[in-house]
């Protein structure tokens, strides 16, 4: 039976989903969690510690070690890798990897040496800035000014210049380490880097993820010469070509065939960003269905037939791997913020859920908690501590159940406030990501949006989307049929809105909008 492998190279883990299109079933799911399984890389949560809280880098060699570990794990658990007919993948968006040699110039991988040992000498920069990095405000200003203002950046790329996007990150590297930048022959996204490793040569950048670089012209799907020039010297020659997502970029390198038992010449399809991939995995590639993804970052996204842009400059436009575009809004304080509140008030995850469902009421009795632990991108805020308002007991973090509900309420309200520009009345929202099984969170989202929340039965929609994209591009199967087979929604888990809470959340939305405006004015 034909099987397809989807990989998801995310911030905290690398995951695999194998689908069997003959049986219409997911046949294997595996994960390597960086902090837990690869402690030798010193990156709990996948990010290297840094004295500057704005600087967030990861070790690309950790991702490669994880790839080897994951493939070993799949084989050890009995996955038949010889049955895989095609492979694709997804990567955390925006992160960049810097290579001293173009991978097109290496002659595949040696079989007698680990991949980590073979890639290490190829890196011109030992670490990769990732999407959590916010150290490039100056570079955003500089590039924006050089091309005639942020409005122009929005018109060309779908986003203003954004700190975590790849262009500003590349510029910062070229300014901080001009010699190392000059020695860089090729710059990859996480997605195209992982695809390149699999094929043992340079893989192109797909349009879905490429749109998150502040370098791609949406209208033409090509690198924009003015932006490329304004970003860093000689950048044009260092960028792989942008290409449609449904492209076979090469054949699996022999290294993987002999080490892990894949079939020779297994086709590899362009990798895309984790959010565009989730859109596919959720079965939401047609406009009209929004997705909330609860991960390290929380994101809200939806397919769009024509690119519409966010007038306030928080939202983005990326490529839809099925064609057209997708709107996306990203919140940096997602799962980690929920976990940090839970830890701070001493609740485990089941207790966090119970606190919302059984122990508190909508509106948290007038208490508000903006869970801002990391510099936030939506809205653009950098505050040293979460912001609390309400009773003295609450503000002193002494009411654990209320803290749990107030955290999720503020996150949901912020999603509602900052996704209004998409201009769609949402009746149904698909929910994915680690926290999508938490009924307390689903309850709050349903009431705040006054829309039904439908979790997907498969937890990792990004890896699933990658497997589905491989089946589409290699097996010639239609997205409709694939999504009917694999993106089933579990009706028993759906949470309908309670209309009696609407007024409470309208009022809370107005109050939180006011608090945010005050913080923005102070910033
Ligand atoms: C999206 C973004 C994050 C990462 C997470 O713009 O930065 O969602 O893709 O992996």
293, 403 contact by CB (below 8 A): no
Task: Please indicate whether residue 238, judged by its CB atom, sits closer than 6 Å to ligand 1.
Answer: no
Mutate to test the pocket of ligand 1, among 273, 292, 434 (most ligand atoms within 8 A of CB): 273
Pair of tokens at residue 411 = 């996150």
> Which CATH entry fits the domain spanning 284-455+490-523: 3.30.470.20, 3.40.50.300, 3.10.20.30, 3.30.420.40?
3.30.420.40
Residue 419 Cα distances to 283, 370, 378, angstroms: 20, 18, 10
Which token pair is 51? 């004295």
Give the position, in ligand 1's atom list, of the atom nearest the Cα of 273: 9
**If you count them, how many residues does the chain have?**
523
Domain chopping of the chain, boundaries: 3-276, 284-455+490-523
Which residues, listed in sequence order, are joined to residue 294 by a DSSP beta bridge? 298
HSE of 343 in the Cβ direction (CA atoms, 13 Å)?
8
> Would strands 205-206 and 242-243 be described as parallel, antiparallel, or unpaired?
parallel
Taking the C-alpha atoms of residue 244 and residue 321, their distance in angstroms, rounded to an integer, is 8
pLDDT at position 157: 96
pTM strictly above 0.85: yes
Q: Give the pLDDT confidence of 485-519 residue by residue, as tens digits.
A: 999 787 888 999 999 999 999 999 999 999 999 99
- State the distance from the centre of ligand 1 to the C-alpha of 257, rounded, in angstroms: 31
CATH architecture of 3-276: 2-Layer Sandwich (3.30)
Give yes or no for residue 432 CB within 6 A of ligand 1: no
What pLDDT shows up at residue 305?
78
Separation CA 273–CA 89 (nearest Å)? 8
Provide the pLDDT for residue 130: 98
291-330 confidence digits (pLDDT tens): 999 988 899 999 987 888 898 999 999 999 999 999 999 9
- Show the tokens assigned to 46: 């996948």
Q: What is the pLDDT of residue 458?
A: 73
Report the distance separating Cα 406 and Cα 66, nearest Å. Answer: 36
Alpha carbon of 389 to those of 335, 382, 408, 508: distances in Å? 22, 18, 15, 12
- Residue ranges, the chain, pLDDT below 50: none
299 close to ligand 1 (CB < 6 Angstrom): yes
> What is the predicted pLDDT for the residue at 425?
73
Ligand 1 within 6 A of CB of 330:
yes
CA of 71 to the centre of ligand 1 (A): 25
CA of residue 275 to ligand 1 center, whole Å: 7
| pLDDT score for 280 | 96
- Cα-to-centroid distance, 35 and ligand 1 (Å): 19
Structure tokens at 491: 């009706």
Same topology, domains 3-276 and 284-455+490-523? Answer is: yes
pLDDT score at 217: 97
């Amino acid at each position: 039976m034909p099987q397809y492998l989807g990989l998801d190279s995310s911030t905290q883990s690398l995951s695999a989903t194998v689908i069997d299109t003959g049986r219409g079933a997911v046949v294997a799911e595996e994960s390597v969690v960086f902090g837990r399984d690869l402690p030798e890389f010193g990156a709990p949560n996948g990010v290297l510690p840094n004295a500057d809280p704005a600087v967030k880098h990861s070790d690309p060699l950790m991702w490669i070690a994880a790839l080897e570990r994951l493939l070993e794990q799949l084989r050890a658990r009995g996955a038949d890798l010889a049955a895989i007919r095609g492979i694709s993948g997804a990567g955390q968006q925006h992160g960049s990897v810097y290579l001293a040699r173009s991978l097109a110039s290496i002659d595949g991988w040696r079989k007698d040496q680990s991949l980590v040992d073979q890639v290490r000498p190829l890196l011109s920069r030992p670490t990769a800035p990732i999407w959590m990095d916010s150290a490039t405000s100056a570079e955003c200003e500089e590039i924006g000014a050089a091309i005639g203002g942020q409005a122009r950046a929005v018109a060309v790329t779908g986003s203003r210049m954004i700190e975590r996007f790849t262009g500003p990150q590349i510029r910062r590297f070229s300014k901080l380490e001009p010699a190392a930048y000059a020695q860089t022959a090729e710059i990859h996204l996480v997605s195209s880097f992982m695809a390149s490793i699999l094929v043992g040569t340079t893989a192109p950048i797909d349009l879905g993820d490429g749109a998150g670089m502040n370098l791609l012209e949406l209208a033409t799907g090509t690198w924009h010469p003015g932006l490329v020039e304004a970003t860093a010297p000689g950048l044009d020659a260092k960028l792989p070509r942008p290409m449609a997502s449904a492209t076979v970029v090469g054949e699996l390198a022999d290294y993987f065939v002999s080490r892990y038992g894949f079939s020779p010449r297994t086709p590899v399809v362009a990798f895309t960003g984790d959010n565009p991939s989730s859109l596919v995995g959720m079965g939401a590639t047609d406009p009209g269905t929004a997705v909330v993804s609860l991960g390290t970052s929380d994101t809200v996204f939806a397919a769009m037939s024509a690119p519409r842009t966010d007038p306030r400059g928080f939202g983005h436009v990326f490529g839809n791997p099925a064609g057209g575009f997708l709107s996306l809004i990203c919140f940096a304080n997602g799962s980690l913020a929920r976990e940090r509140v839970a830890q701070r008030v001493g609740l485990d995850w089941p207790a966090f859920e119970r606190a919302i469902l059984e122990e508190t009421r909508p509106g948290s009795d007038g208490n508000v908690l903006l869970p801002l632990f990391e510099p936030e991108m939506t809205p653009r805020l950098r505050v040293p501590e979460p912001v609390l308002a309400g009773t003295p007991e609450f503000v002193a973090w002494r009411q654990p159940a209320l803290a749990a509900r107030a955290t999720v309420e503020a996150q949901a309200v912020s999603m509602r406030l900052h996704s209004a520009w998409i201009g769609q009345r949402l009746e149904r929202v698909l929910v994915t990501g680690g926290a999508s099984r938490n009924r307390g969170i689903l309850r709050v989202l349903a009431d705040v949006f006054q829309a039904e929340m439908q979790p997907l039965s498969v937890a990792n929609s990004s890896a699933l989307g990658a497997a589905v994209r491989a089946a589409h591009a290699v097996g010639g199967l239609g997205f409709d049929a694939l999504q009917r087979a694999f993106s089933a929604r579990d009706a028993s888990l759906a949470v309908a809105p309670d209309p009696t809470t609407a007024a409470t959340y309208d009022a809370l939305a107005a109050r939180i909008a006011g608090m945010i405006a005050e913080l923005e004015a102070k910033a």
